[in-house]
Structure 1
Amino acid sequence: MTALAPGASALRPLDPPTRPRYLPLWSWPVVALLVVVAGVVGVGLAPQGSRVAVWWPAAGIAVLFLVLTPRRRRWAGLLLVLGATALANAIGGRPPLAALCFGVANAAEALVVTALLARRGRPRFELRSLASAIYFCLAVIAGAVVVGLLAGATIAGLEDGAFWSTAAYVAASHAAAVVMIAPFALFPRRVPVRAGPLELALHVVALAAVIALVFRDGADLPLAFLPYPVLAWAAFRFPVRVVAVQTLLASCAILALTIAGGGPFNHEGLDLAVRAALAETFLVTFAGFSVVISAAQYELRDTTRRLAATSRLLSGSLLEASVGLAIAQRRADGRVRVGWSNPTAAALVGEGAERSWQGPLADAADEALRSGEPVTVELDERTLTVAANLVPDEPDHFSVQLVDVTEPLRMQAATLAAEQEQQAARVTRADLERQREDFVATTSHELRTPIASIVGYVELLEDSPRLTDRERGWLEVVTRNADRLSALVEDLLAIGQIAADRDGVEPREIELGPFVTEVLGNVRVLADRKEMTLDVAGCAGTAHADPDDLTRMLTNLLANAVKFTPPRGRVTTRTVEHEDGTVGVVVSDTGPGMAPEELEHAFDRFYRAPVAERDAVPGTGLGLAIVSELAARNHGSVALASPEGGGLVATLTLPGRGRAGVRETG
């Protein structure tokens, strides 16, 4: 294959090489018969008194057959060629040993040509360029040299003939046959041509007339060159397949007329050997000329086709581009005209620009050309970016790119406005959140005094001996609700304090064993009322946290477990030391647990599970929220899980020894 010229590396073939098409096995006997018949015919074409045929078509059929044979079967194909050509020589009258030697020589020639073509072609060799045609001719010459030397040695050794003359005649006769026949297995993909049937008919008539004129009986003028221009006409106008067929038929006609005694090679002054040599040389050059020029013309057609496709692709891309593209020219008088523009640019520059381009866009293009930077211009409620640069080797021409950035700018402005609105909303939300927290903290603080007064006076009333049982029941209701209101106020104050003072903690290392035991003592009174069991299963390790915060976290988790566990249930507390240096306190109970959708909201403020509302379990819905806030303030976390067997498992994870200030994600 030919290499592309520098700068044309991007020009790739539109079509890949055709996939190899191999002959089926059932065709092998037909090929063997053709080789035998062609060999017998070739022997019959030998001049009187000569041991060598003028043309050996069996060689061309053998090479064509091996090219169309898969690699894995090629050795079997070589044996078929050897046997068929040996049989043809034996039928032609050669002794058995000489016939076998000629069979070996033919097989060696076919092997050399096929191997050389296979080495160059991946996945198959094709006559699609001038370089490939020259390589094919060189491969044919190499095979001809091999068969010529072997045939010369056979004739010289077995029949006492001349070595060099035999070698030369055999090489020429075989080369002519291979060049004529083998290309039928090496055709590339079809490329459309413009020549029609009428031109083809005229060419056939012209070629037949020229051959009849030059090789008629009695013609002695040196006009053997006349078929070449006619053959060149075919190569330039018709497909390579048509040229190959014409070349083969024309060569057979020339050969037949020459054998019949016509043409310039049968001059009376030439002996038989010279006549045969001239005829063979003509056939080789005629067929080789056809192969080379038709392959070169195919390459030209294919290159033209690819260039046209690339041009169409590029032109279509430029014409359909949403970017305005134009080529402008600055005249000697300083005026600028637009020589070419795609539809987008034509709509922007307006009419008359091909004569004289003026206006804001022209001024912007001139400024962009001078500064080397894009220029933005407002035009008819649109915003355009104009860039310009000189065309290489054309100092009076420059290219202009016009980009409509109206929509991107609008989208950018809308995005900026949306971001500003979001920022304002965030500021407003943060302000409202701060006001809410201030209100809750202030209100909770103000409620402390009246609640304390209510609780105090209720206690004084309960000490009175004159109260009836019904009146004491009323006081119990007041006390219970006052305690509930007091707990709510304390939780609200705790939430507000945590939010306002997230860094106001004094963490230290706390031994969890005695600390957990102390906190359990605070909630044991609640557990005893429900006859529940509080277990401690291996509490060890050291946590780095604020003691007051840790006390409140554990108290809330344990109190929550006791409240939701049925009477005579069990609450178990244990600690876990993790490999990452954190320590966890795990509180598990035998209560009803929580559904997955309830777990998602368990740490939300004022959230109470449906079971708490149904069973009237006292609480404010802030206990777990406080635990979550305190855990985060101490660089820890808290998580809830509800096993399939029931119950709830709360895991409080805190920094361990030596991990102060390291936030854990739980």
Structure 2
Amino acid sequence: MDSATLVPLALAFGALVGAAVTTVIVLAHRRGQRAAAVATPSVPDGVDQVLDALESAGVVLDPSNVVVKASPGAVAFGLVLGRALVHAELLDMVDRVRRDGEAIEQEVDLARGPFGDAHMYLFVRVARLGARYVLLVAEDRTESYRLDSVRRDFVANISHELKTPIGAVGLLAEALSSASDDPEQVRKFAKRLTKEAERLARITQEIIELSRLQAADALSKPDLVDIDDVVSLAIDQNHVVAEAENIQLVRGGDKHVRVFGDEALLVVALHNLIANAIQYSPQNSRVGIGVNCTDGVVEIAVTDQGIGIPEEERERVFERFFRVDPARSRHTGGSGLGLSIVKHVVQNHGGDVRVWSQPGRGSTFTIRLPEATGASALTLGAEL
């Protein structure tokens, strides 16, 4: 066979081999795609976008309980680690749905993440998603549980606090009736009855004030408030009680500083601090009230020479109904709400309140508020 014949045959053979190789590569690629699809299954159309937009936690699991898709919330709650559900309780719910075919809903108490001690309360719904997958959606109800607990404690504390003066009023009323023929006893019981009635009125008023301070619009219309006026008014309100206990109220120099806020509320807060200082101070001592302003921060400090606060209780003094010395507080008619009101008033004004104390040497409570600077004061004045 001459060379002229061999060349076309070689070309034809080369083309045939090339086509065969190309076919093999295409088939291998398709097989690889099918294998990849089996190894990394995709969720039904649209579910990806829904999970990405979900604020609550959402998880899709395949037949082997491998997490195929998880929303950002599921990761943030610590429900998913790698490609697995962390909590056995959730896996149990998934298995029940896969076994019975019926969607289930349940509230669960879970550890927040695989390593933490904190707990979260979730409302979980699990249902089938198509023939292969299971969808788990969890809504965080931890805050709701916390608020319910706070409400229950608050109601229990109020009941406890009101029980004493209400019981005293009843007993005093009976005593008055029995002593109707003895004017001296009538005057004695009437005086105590008046004191208990005042205590009831004070507790009720402080509960109302605390509820108002916790409202979203507690400080919706702030004014310019002169701190020197606030100090003067608060001292005047405590002057008679201080004199009765031989306690001297010592005031620092005027600072002529102003803040944005509600003058009446700030007076209530400072009044509570001064009243608290008087209550826990020995007779013939001093309570100092000073104002300082540094770097745009106004500080109002109330210092006493009282019994002081143990270190382990300093973080709790602003809790409702908490008392450092319950017997002393009840004897003087304290409700246990005063410092809680101080904290909420100050927070509503964009500030904070701090405490320094040493048992046997006294305490200093300091209200810190942002100063109304010249430019911002002018702006507020224009708005008003």
Task: Give the Cα–Cα distance (whole angstroms) in 1 for the partners of residues 339 and 270 of structure 2.
Answer: 10
Structure 1 residue 609: Cα displacement: 0.7
Structure 1 length normalisation: TM-score? 0.35
Structure 1 residue 364: Cα displacement: 7.3
Other-structure match for 1:425: 142
Q: Is the 8 A contact 1:585 1:652 kept in 2?
A: yes
Other-structure match for 2:289: 573
Letter in 2 for 1:629: H
Helix, strand or coil at the partner of 1:642: strand
Check if 1:563 corresponds to 2:279.
yes
**Counterpart selection for 2:83 from 408, 412, 417:** 408
What aligned pairs does 1:446-461 form with structure 2 within 5 A after superposition? none
Other-structure match for 1:528: 243
Check if 1:656 corresponds to 2:371.
yes
Other-structure match for 2:263: 547
Structure 1 residue 500: Cα displacement: 2.1
What aligned pairs does 1:43-192 form with structure 2 within 5 A after superposition? none
Q: Is the 8 A contact 2:219 2:349 kept in 1?
A: no
Check if 1:595 corresponds to 2:310.
yes
Structure 1 residue 564: Cα displacement: 0.8
Other-structure match for 2:73: none
Structure 1 residue 549: Cα displacement: 0.8
Task: Give the Cα–Cα distance (whole angstroms) in 2 for the partners of residues 487 and 530 of structure 1.
Answer: 20
Q: Is the 8 A contact 2:279 2:332 kept in 1?
A: yes
Letter in 2 for 1:376: P
Letter in 1 for 2:288: T
What aligned pairs does 1:220-239 form with structure 2 within 5 A after superposition? none
Letter in 2 for 1:547: E
Task: Give the Cα–Cα distance (whole angstroms) in 2 for the partners of residues 406 and 474 of structure 1.
Answer: 69
Structure 2 length normalisation: TM-score? 0.58
What does the per-residue CA deviation read over 1:637-663, in whole Å, with 9 as the maximum and x for residues that have no partner?
Answer: 1111115771110101112122679xx
Structure 1 residue 569: Cα displacement: 0.9
Task: Give the Cα–Cα distance (whole angstroms) in 1 for the partners of residues 338 and 66 of structure 2.
Answer: 59
Structure 1 residue 528: Cα displacement: 0.7
Structure 1 residue 544: Cα displacement: 2.3
Task: Give the Cα–Cα distance (whole angstroms) in 2 for the partners of residues 588 and 575 of structure 1.
Answer: 12
Q: Is the 8 A contact 1:536 1:572 kept in 2?
A: yes
Q: Is the 8 A contact 2:233 2:267 kept in 1?
A: no
What does the per-residue CA deviation read over 1:590-619, in whole Å, with 9 as the maximum and x for residues that have no partner?
Answer: 112111112111101100113654883431
Letter in 2 for 1:549: L
What does the per-residue CA deviation read over 1:313-368, in whole Å, with 9 as the maximum and x for residues that have no partner?
Answer: xxxxxxxxxxxxxxxxx9969998xxxxxxxxxxxxxxxxxxxxxxxxx9974425
Task: Give the Cα–Cα distance (whole angstroms) in 2 for the partners of residues 333 and 513 of structure 1.
Answer: 88
Other-structure match for 2:356: 641
Structure 1 residue 556: Cα displacement: 0.4
Aligned residues: 275
Task: Give the Cα–Cα distance (whole angstroms) in 1 for the partners of residues 328 and 372 of structure 2.
Answer: 41
**Counterpart selection for 2:40 from 372, 375, 380:** 375
Task: Give the Cα–Cα distance (whole angstroms) in 1 for the partners of residues 151 and 62 of structure 2.
Answer: 49
Structure 1 residue 543: Cα displacement: 2.5
**Counterpart selection for 2:210 from 474, 495, 499:** 495
Q: Rate the CA distance shift 1:653–1:376 in 2: closer, same or farther, 3 A.
A: same
Helix, strand or coil at the partner of 2:141: helix
What does the per-residue CA deviation read over 1:151-187, in whole Å, with 9 as the maximum and x for residues that have no partner?
Answer: xxxxxxxxxxxxxxxxxxxxxxxxxxxxxxxxxxxxx
Q: Is the 8 A contact 2:304 2:364 kept in 1?
A: yes
Letter in 1 for 2:221: E
What does the per-residue CA deviation read over 1:16-47, in whole Å, with 9 as the maximum and x for residues that have no partner?
Answer: xxxxxxxxxxxxxxxxxxxxxxxxxxxxxxxx
Q: Rate the CA distance shift 1:629–1:412 in 2: closer, same or farther, 3 A.
A: same
What aligned pairs does 1:199-348 form with structure 2 within 5 A after superposition? none
What does the per-residue CA deviation read over 1:549-591, in whole Å, with 9 as the maximum and x for residues that have no partner?
Answer: 1110111011111111111110111101011x12111111111
Helix, strand or coil at the partner of 1:548: helix
Larger radius of gyration: 1
Task: Give the Cα–Cα distance (whole angstroms) in 2 for the partners of residues 380 and 491 of structure 1.
Answer: 59
Task: Give the Cα–Cα distance (whole angstroms) in 2 for the partners of residues 511 and 379 of structure 1.
Answer: 66
Other-structure match for 1:606: 321
Letter in 1 for 2:361: G
Helix, strand or coil at the partner of 2:246: coil
Task: Give the Cα–Cα distance (whole angstroms) in 1 for the partners of residues 328 and 194 of structure 2.
Answer: 21
Structure 1 residue 384: Cα displacement: 10
Helix, strand or coil at the partner of 1:513: helix
How large is the RMSD of aligned CA atoms in angstroms?
Answer: 4.7
Task: Give the Cα–Cα distance (whole angstroms) in 1 for the partners of residues 349 and 83 of structure 2.
Answer: 47
Task: Give the Cα–Cα distance (whole angstroms) in 1 for the partners of residues 63 and 242 of structure 2.
Answer: 81
Structure 1 residue 435: Cα displacement: 8.3
Q: Rate the CA distance shift 1:334–1:492 in 2: closer, same or farther, 3 A.
A: closer
Helix, strand or coil at the partner of 2:187: helix
Q: Is the 8 A contact 1:502 1:633 kept in 2?
A: no
Q: Which has a greater percent of strand?
A: 2
Q: Is the 8 A contact 1:588 1:649 kept in 2?
A: yes
Q: Rate the CA distance shift 1:597–1:334 in 2: closer, same or farther, 3 A.
A: closer
Q: Rate the CA distance shift 1:480–1:407 in 2: closer, same or farther, 3 A.
A: same
**Counterpart selection for 2:336 from 589, 611, 621:** 621
Q: Is the 8 A contact 1:545 1:655 kept in 2?
A: no
Q: Is the 8 A contact 1:574 1:586 kept in 2?
A: yes
Q: Rate the CA distance shift 1:407–1:555 in 2: closer, same or farther, 3 A.
A: closer
